[in-house]
Copies of this chain bind each other. A is one copy, B any other.
Amino acid sequence: MNIVVLNSMWVLIASVLVFLMHAGFAMVEVGFTQSKNAVNIIMKNFVTVSIGVLSFFFVGYGVMYGADAGGLIGTDMFALINAPIEISGITFDVFFFFQAIFAATCATIVSGAVAERTKFTAYIVFVFVATMIIYPLIGHWIWGGGFLSTQLGFMDFAGGTAVHAVGGFCAFVGAAVVGPRTGKYKKGKPKAIPGHNIPLGALGVLILWFGWFGFNPGSTLDITSPATAHAAITTLLSGSAATFSALFFSNFRYGKPDAALTLNGALAGLVGITAGANVISFYGAIIIGLISGVIMIFSVEFFDKVVKVDDPVGAISVHGVCGSFGTIAVGLFSTQAGALGLFYGGGFKLLGIQTLGVLIVGSTAIILAFITFTTLKKTMGLRVEEHEELHGLDTMEHGISAYIEI
Total interface residues in chain A, CB < 8 Å: 104
With a cutoff of 8 Å between Cβ atoms, the chain B residues found around residue A403 in the complex are 196-198, 405
Complex CA–CA separation, A263 to B404 (angstroms): 18
A15 pairs with B50, CB closer than 8 A: no
Name the residue in A5, A34, A35, A258 with the highest tally of chain B Cβ atoms < 10 Å from its Cβ. A5
- A211-226 contacts to B (CB < 8 Å): 213-214, 217, 223-224, 226
* Assembly CA distance A6 to B6 (angstroms): 8
Question: Is A279's CB within 8 Å of the partner chain B?
Answer: no
Which positions 2-16 of chain A face chain B at CB distance < 8 Å? 2-3, 5-6, 8-10, 12-13, 15-16
Task: Give per-residue flags for A171-204: 1 if the beta carbon is below 8 A from chain B beta carbons, else 0.
Answer: 0000000000000000000000011111110110
- Does the CB pair A54–B237 fall under 8 Å? yes
A356 close to chain B: CB less than 8 A: no
Contact status B397-A257, CB under 8 Å: yes
On whether A226 and B91 interact (CB within 8 A), knowing A23-B207, A96-B233, A398-B259, the answer reads: yes
- B53 and A207 contact, CB distance less than 8 A: no
User: What is the 8 Å Cβ interface bit string for chain A, positions 20-56, against chain B (1 contact, 0 not)?
Assistant: 1011001100100011101101110111011111100
* Pair B241/A54 contact, Cβ less than 8 Å: yes
Measured CA separation A240–B399 after assembly (Å): 23
| A157 at interface by CB-CB < 8 Å | no
- How far, in Å, is A104 (CB) from chain B's closest CB? 9
Q: Is the CB of B214 within 8 A of A101?
A: no
**Residues B13 and A57 in contact, CB atoms below 8 Å apart:** no
Contacts A34-B406, A257-B397: A46 and B243 contacting too (C-beta < 8 A)? yes
A80-B213 contact given A241-B54, A259-B39, CB 8 Å threshold:
no
- 8 Å CB contact of A398 from B46, B197, B257: B257
Known contacts A13-B13, A50-B266; 4 additional CB pairs below 8 A are A12-B229, A79-B282, A97-B229, A257-B397
User: A residues within 8 Å of B by Cβ?
Assistant: 1-3, 5-6, 8-10, 12-13, 15-17, 19-20, 22-23, 26-27, 30, 34-36, 38-39, 41-43, 45-47, 49-54, 57, 79-80, 91, 93-94, 96-97, 100-101, 120, 194-200, 202-203, 205-207, 209-210, 213-214, 217, 223-224, 226, 228-230, 232-233, 236-237, 239-241, 243-244, 247, 254, 256-260, 262-263, 266, 282-283, 286, 392, 397-406
